[in-house]
């Protein structure tokens, strides 16, 4: 393994680490040498991921935590420090979508999506930055979405939240650059996970209809995100700040007219 991408000696926390993307990212970080705290509101599933990490010979712990609660972020950092002794990498992979037209959204829907995809990332990033600032720096990686770049019918509040997360990433990167904290984001295309499984299954033709709009010819897979996150978590990205890396099979670079012709 190239030392440039080695995470040996690092401690990573993956919020949303029991999810489809988060779990693969957590294992991928461990495979590159990091000790990993798998953080999720579903503590039993987080423990399954942590057990997979330990079975691979790395240090993995599970922490049941609801970071939608602003007061939980600082408590989470203290638990990580007590159990793993530090924090060098934070991955915000928490996400929740509501597939409804805008006119059908309730106030509860709006609040839930904004908190899950935007506010929680701010709270936990600030808590992590306070730790990293005192220890010489770190890496924060937010999970946005290709919907942050385009309008997305039926996902309006999700798209708005992810667009906000992209700009939050830029702002935090500028605020914390002097602390040697690099903040960046990863933007996947529609990826086959539990968050959209029911929505995809509700219409047998929906998956193929989406796949033909993606130049790579398929939906994303959780393992597609491992390499980009390892890059952003490693020394290889020390001079990368405030960027959003689109891991979207080419979707974000295709002109809409060309996409419609496919």
Listing DSSP states for 139-189 in one string gives EEEEE--GGGTS--TT-HHHHHHHHHHHHHHHHHHHHHGGGTEEEEEEEE-
Angle, CA 215 vertex, CA 212 and CA 217 arms, to 5°: 50
Q: How far is CA 137 from CA 15, 128, 149, 174, in A?
A: 19, 10, 29, 14
Q: How far is residue 77's CA from residue 192's CA, in Å, rounded to a whole number?
A: 30
Residue 142's DSSP bridge partners are 92, 185
Q: How far is residue 32's CA from residue 23's CA, in Å, rounded to a whole number?
A: 15
Listing DSSP states for 69-95 in one string gives STTHHHHHHHHHHHHHS---EEEE---
Q: How far is residue 224's CA from residue 191's CA, in Å, rounded to a whole number?
A: 9
Q: How far is residue 157's CA from residue 103's CA, in Å, rounded to a whole number?
A: 11
- Whether residue 87 contacts residue 77, with contact meaning beta carbons closer than 8 Å, is answered with yes
Listing DSSP states for 6-18 in one string gives --TT-EEEEETTT
Q: Token digits for 50?
A: 């942590």
Question: Does the annotation count 179 as an active-site position?
Answer: no
Q: Which of 16, 91, 97, 158 is catalytic?
A: 158
Q: Among all residues, which ones are annotated catalytic? A: 158
């Amino acid at each position: 393994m190239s030392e440039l991408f080695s995470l040996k000696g690092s401690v990573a926390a993956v919020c949303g680490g029991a999810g489809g993307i988060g779990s693969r990212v957590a294992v991928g970080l461990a495979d590159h040498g990091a000790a990993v705290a798998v953080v999720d509101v579903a503590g039993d599933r987080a423990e399954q991921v942590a057990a997979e990490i330990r079975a691979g010979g790395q240090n993995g712990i599970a922490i049941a935590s609801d970071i939608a609660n602003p007061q939980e972020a600082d408590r989470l950092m203290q638990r990580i420090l007590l159990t793993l002794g530090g924090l060098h990498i934070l991955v915000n992979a928490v996400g929740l979508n509501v597939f409804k037209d805008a006119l059908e959204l309730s106030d509860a829907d709006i609040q839930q999506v904004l908190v899950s995809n935007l506010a929680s990332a701010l709270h936990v990033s600030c808590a992590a930055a306070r730790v990293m600032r005192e220890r010489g720096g770190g890496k924060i990686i937010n999970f946005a979405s290709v919907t942050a770049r385009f309008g997305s019918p039926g996902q309006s509040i999700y798209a708005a939240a992810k667009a906000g997360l992209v700009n939050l990433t830029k702002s935090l990167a500028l605020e914390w650059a002097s602390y040697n904290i690099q903040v960046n984001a990863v933007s996947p295309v529609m990826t086959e996970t539990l968050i959209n499984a029911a929505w995809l299954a509700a219409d047998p033709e929906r998956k193929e209809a989406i796949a033909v709009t993606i130049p790579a010819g398929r939906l994303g897979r959780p393992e597609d995100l491992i390499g980009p996150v390892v890059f952003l978590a490693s020394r290889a990205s020390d001079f990368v700040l405030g960027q959003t890396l689109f891991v979207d099979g080419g979707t974000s670079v295709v002109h809409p007219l060309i996409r419609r012709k496919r």
